[in-house]
Structure formats: structure tokens, C-alpha cells
Amino acid sequence: MEPNRGNDQNNKKPGGDRPKGNYFTPLMIALVLVLVFSWVMNTVEKSQYTETTWNDFKQAKDAGQLSEVEIRSDRILYMTKEETAKDPSRQKACYTGLPTGGDLQALADELVDMGVTVKEQIVEDNSMIMMILSYVIMIGGMFLLMNMLTKRMGGDGMMGGFGKSKAKVYMEKQTGVTFKDVAGQDEAKESLQEIIDFLHNPQKYTAIGAKLPKGALLVGSPGTGKTLLAKAVAGEADVPFFSISGSDFVEMFVGMGASRVRDLFQQAAKVAPCIIFIDEIDAVGRSRDNRYGSNSEQEQTLNQLLSEIDGFESSKGIVCLAATNRPEILDKALLRPGRFDRRIIVDRPNLQGRLDTLKVHTRKIRLSEDVDLRKIAQATAGAVGADLANLVNEAALRAVRHGRQAVNQEDLLVSFETVIAGTEKKNTVLTDMEKRLVAYHEVGHALIAALEKHSQPVSKITIVPHTSGALGYTMQMPEEEKFLSTADELRTELRTLVGGRAAEQVVFGIQTTGAANDIQRATSLARNMVTQYGMSEKFGLMSTASVQNQYLDGQAYMDCAQSTAAEVDEEVKKILESAYSDAKRILTENRGLLDEISEFLLVKETVTGDELMAYVNAGKNSLPAPEQTTEE
């Protein structure tokens, strides 16, 4: 959105009223470069000639030994006949100074009469003026070049630009973001509403003696909308918004990061009230111990940031917002009261939050009447705002590819599957045996999920290969939002995960590589049951692992003795073997149902959850024949 150029506040620079440019640094650099260049050229030129006296030159002239002479404004270059014979290339000439009070024109005429070659005669009286003029032109050209380079480097001068802050100032009309554009984060918006109200009405808080929190830390997984939320705060408060990444402070030159921190807060103080937003603050706010490693530049920058936060009064209306997805590695001094003491969790949205987010992202998308965003929200459990935005965009692109004027429900569902499993690989040709293996494998997953209690309903089974590497997949869609899982539900999930391998073993008596991802997920789930959830008979309520980077990969690291870790492996193996045994028993007892659904899937390649449950509920006698169904 274009800023309002008639508003002086929008056009005002963060640093206040400053001259358009600082020309001293480029001028000094140009002057030094020209002087150095002239000195180098003079030194190189002198090294090519042999210095002599005026008497030597006069004696050679009187003896008729001169071969070539070049008269310059500051010296005379000459070569004797003997030197010309020895050096045909004429690279070793002699030079001498000009005579005091001598007539150079008369000397040139005399040399010509003697048959000496006079190559150039520079005897003008204004030679000094021309030399000075040439130096002025050189310095002026070099100055223009250096001034252009320094402007491109983004600083007032080449050396002064290193310490300048790279922060960009945003006004409300520039960002165009308010709380209406942020959905699914009601708790975070409520926590930030107090900061907005303080910036609007500071006297209401200062009258009772309350102080505005100097800093708030936005913590959450990538893509949850931390930066968008910070921009919305600036838009709601209608104050200048300084945005900078933590990595912008860190430079290879020690002290430059601290200089940029000082410059940032100096700019903010001139336009207060305002908001400073530091994205990915863990790049500069990492703990200063040796556990994660550090360097002097990072420590100096962090120390300067701490002192700047302590240096301004909250009554000035400067609020520091920061975002990170690694709060556990931040320095404790950064999180103490009086600094970033307020932590605001920007979590993954729940069902209602995902629905509201989809409504925000589809405001400018033309939707058909069959679109049900609630079903899409139910299917995307665990998705963040960035995932939902990508899903909606993929659906719009698919609608355009198919020549439609609006996005329908199928576009959204297919886009969701594309995000999960990739696009279909139409050129992949499986052998008949491979196709049967994939069909029985996927039906093994789906049948156990359909027959077991405490399982999520199956919405789709397909044996169409996808670009993610999957030759087929079974999709389960939860009926409602759940935040807790019981031990029975987790054991049912384990049996569902190993159901594909169990079907291969029951029907074909073989094992394939198609169960690699299933086994990996089942092992991770079983390990979490033992180490974190306290759901094993041997260890009971004992926790043997701790989670680090919970907002990134959420990987758990063993926090126990090596002997205990070995016992954990045995317990995990025991849980997996029990789930695998139960899965084979269920499929063996329902072998006829397994065969018929697999044959149906081989014919149709894609089976919906309703068709699956028709087989399970109706039995063999009332099953629709595969040839009577139409392909989708």
C-alpha cells in the first residue's frame, strides 16, 4: 500500500531531520585515492628512467650524442645515440630537471637544427594550471564514484554505514495489518491489547502509578504468525514500527552489532511512542555460557541490547517486541523482570482458530457454494497459519489449472493431500504384484482403524503413487478436536500403524520396504509412551527423556543412564511386538473382509471412508460389486 505522501509524519525519517547526505567521507576517500594513485604512477615512471644532472645533458648535447629528446613541463627526457643502439626498444631513457630561467623553446629549436628528434614540446606557460585542473577533475570523478557507492551500501558514508541500524520503519498505512487480519490467536491478541491501550492512553496507567512492560517475547512454532501479530500491534496502536532481524546485528567486525543497537534505540527515541520488533532474537540473545558456544561480537551486542532496554523509561512509550521459536537458549538476563519479562505464546490454532484463519485467507478468493471450510479445518489438525495460507493458494492455483472461475471443495481437499503426500505421479507404473502389495498394505491400516475402538475415522484410501515417495496412503480425519490421548487410544494407533506390515505378512508371508515410515512413526510413539507419558509397566511414572526445541522438531533426548536407555529400548520393542501381534490377529480373523476390500481398491484405486464402512457394516452379502461402481 502506498504511503500518504501528504502526511509529514509518514515521510519523516526514523532518525529525525538530517541532511540528505554526508559528503565528507566520500571526498576524503577520493582525495586519498587520487594522491596515492599519483604517487604510485610517479614512482613507477621514475623507476623506468635514470636520473642525471643538467651538466650531463648539456655535455651530451654539445658532443652531438643526443638521439631523442622529450621536453616536458617538469623535466627533460633524453636518450643518447649509444643508449639507442644498445636499447632499440627505447625503454631506458635518462631525465634531468629544467634549467633555471632557461628558454625551453629556444632549446627545442636548437635541438631540431642539430638533427635531434624532439618528440613532444610542452612549454606552455599555463602548464601548472592544466596540471591542477587535471587533479581537480580526477578528484571530482572519484568523489562522484565513491558517493554513489556509499549510497548503494545504505550508509551516510562508506565507513559510517557499518554502524547504522538496518531497521525499517513501518506506519499503519504501510503495513495495512490489524487484528482483523490475525485469526486463531485470541489469547495472544488479548495479552497485547494492554500494550496498545497504554500507547493510546498512557495517562490512564501513569495516574495510578502503573508502568508499561518494556518488552514482550512472542514464542511459538514457525508459521504461527508472530511477525504478523507484531505488525498488527503497530497497526492497531498507530505508532511507528521498527522491524529488524536478530541476525542483522551480528557482523564480522567486533563492535558493529553494538553500534547498530545504539543507533536503533536512538532512532526510536526520536519518534516515540513506537514499537521495536526484533525477529529471531535468539540469533543475538543466545545464552552467554559455553554450552551453545559464543563469540565476543555476539556478547557485546547482547550486552548493549540489555543496557539499551534498561536505559529508557517505559513512560516514553517505547515497547520492545521480540519473536523466537527457541526460548530455551535465550540468556537469562534477557528474560528477567524489567526486560522481556512478558512471554506471549503464539500456539498452533485449534479447530475454531483454523476455521477463522481459513476465513481470513479466503476473503479474496472466489469460493463455490459447495465449500465447507469447517471440514477443511477438521482435516488440518496441527496446521499453522502459514500452512493454511499455502493450502488456500494451492487450491486457487488448481482451480485455475482446471479452467474454473471459483474454488470448490475438491480443490481444497486435493490441495490438503498435496501438502501431505505431494502430487500424483501419473507416470509411475507398478507391477501387478507391487500393486496388490500396496493395496493390501493400505487396507491393513484402514481395516484395523475401522474395526478398533478409540480410533480416528478413515476418510480415504488410495494406491496412487505420489511425489513424496508414498505408493499409497490411508488418510484419517478426526471428528472432533482433541488435546489429550488415552493409553488405549495410543495403543490403537500403534496397531493401525503396524497394520500395513501385518497385512503383508498375513496374506503374502513377506516383508517389504513400504512400511519404513510406519515403523518409524510407531517406534517414536512407543518411545514417547515409555519415556515421557509414563505408560509402560516397567518404568511406570518415571521420565527418562526431556524435550528440547519444543517449538521446532520437538525431539526428545534421553536423560538417563546408558543401562536405563538399553532397558527403554527393550520396553519399546516389547510394546511394538505386542501391537504387531494384535494387528495380525485382527486381520487373520477378518481375512475375508481384508481380501474383498483390497480387491475393490485394486479396481477403483481410491476408496472413500463411506465405501469402506459399507463393507465393514453390511457384510459380504450386501456388498456392491466392484464393477458396478464408477471411478472418480
Give the pLDDT confidence score for residue 19 in this predicted structure.
Answer: 40
Q: Write 56-59 long-range contacts (CB < 8 A, 24+).
A: 56/94, 56/96, 57/94, 57/96
The answer to whether the Cα torsion of 540, 545, 546, 548 is positive or negative is negative
On whether the CB atoms of residues 154 and 161 are closer than 8 A, the answer is yes
168-345 belongs to CATH 3.40.50.10260: no
Cα(281)–Cα(324) distance, integer angstroms: 6
**Least trusted range by pLDDT, from 8-22, 50-64, 210-224, 495-509:** 8-22
Give the pLDDT confidence score for residue 570 in this predicted structure.
Answer: 94
Nearest CA to 441 out of 465, 464, 466, 474 is that of 474
Q: What is the mean pLDDT of the chain?
A: 79
* pLDDT score of 17 more than 50: no
For residue range 227-265, what is the model confidence (pLDDT) as tens digits? 888 888 888 888 888 888 887 777 655 567 788 888 888
Q: Which residues of 248-277 are buried (b: 16+ CB within 10 A; e: fewer)?
A: bbbbeeeebbbbbbbbbbebbeebbbbbbb
* pLDDT score of 71 more than 80: no
CA angle 422, 424, 428 (to 5 degrees): 120
Question: Per-residue pLDDT averaged across 130-150, rounded?
Answer: 73
* pLDDT score of 12 more than 60: no
Cα(247)–Cα(392) distance, integer angstroms: 31
Percent of the chain with pLDDT over 70: 79
Give the pLDDT confidence score for residue 47 in this predicted structure.
Answer: 63
Cα(609)–Cα(375) distance, integer angstroms: 14
432-628 belongs to CATH 3.40.50.12780: no
Residues in the chain: 632
Nearest CA to 128 out of 73, 46, 77 is that of 73
Beta-carbon contacts of 607 under 8 Å, excluding residues fewer than 6 positions away, are 460, 461, 462, 597, 600, 601
* pLDDT score of 164 more than 70: no
User: Within 13 Å of residue 373, how many CA atoms lie on the same side as its CB?
Assistant: 21
Confidence of residue 467 (pLDDT cuts 50, 70, 90): low
Give the pLDDT confidence score for residue 627 in this predicted structure.
Answer: 45
Which neighbouring-strand residues pair with 345?
219
Cα(192)–Cα(339) distance, integer angstroms: 16
Give the pLDDT confidence score for residue 632 in this predicted structure.
Answer: 34
For residue range 503-549, what is the model confidence (pLDDT) as tens digits? 999 999 999 998 999 999 999 999 999 999 999 888 889 988 888 77
Confidence of residue 20 (pLDDT cuts 50, 70, 90): very low
Give the pLDDT confidence score for residue 249 in this predicted structure.
Answer: 77
Cα(275)–Cα(175) distance, integer angstroms: 13
Bond before 14 cis per omega within 30 degrees: no
Q: Which three cell numbers stand for residue 456?
A: 480416528
For residue range 443-462, what is the model confidence (pLDDT) as tens digits? 999 999 999 888 888 988 98
Question: Per-residue pLDDT averaged across 94-107, rounded?
Answer: 71
Q: Which three cell numbers stand for residue 238?
A: 498507530
Catalytically annotated residues: 442
For residue range 596-613, what is the model confidence (pLDDT) as tens digits? 999 999 998 889 888 888
* pLDDT score of 579 more than 90: yes
pTM attached to this predicted model: 0.66
* pLDDT score of 173 more than 90: no
Q: Per-domain residue ranges for the chain?
A: 168-345, 351-420, 432-628
Question: Per-residue pLDDT averaged across 354-361, rounded?
Answer: 91
- Pairing between strand 93-96 and 76-80? antiparallel
**Least trusted range by pLDDT, from 72-81, 179-188, 402-411, 576-585:** 72-81
Confidence of residue 587 (pLDDT cuts 50, 70, 90): very high
Higher pLDDT, 584 or 139: 584
**For the chain, what percentages of helix, strand and coil (3-state, to nearest 5) are there?**
50, 10, 35
Which fold is adopted by the domain 351-420? Answer: Helicase, Ruva Protein; domain 3 (1.10.8)
What is the helix (H) or strand (E) element at residue 140, kind and residue range?
helix 127-152
On whether the CB atoms of residues 444 and 583 are closer than 8 A, the answer is yes
* pLDDT score of 623 more than 70: no
For residue range 295-353, what is the model confidence (pLDDT) as tens digits? 577 788 888 888 888 877 666 778 889 999 888 888 888 888 888 878 888 888 888 88
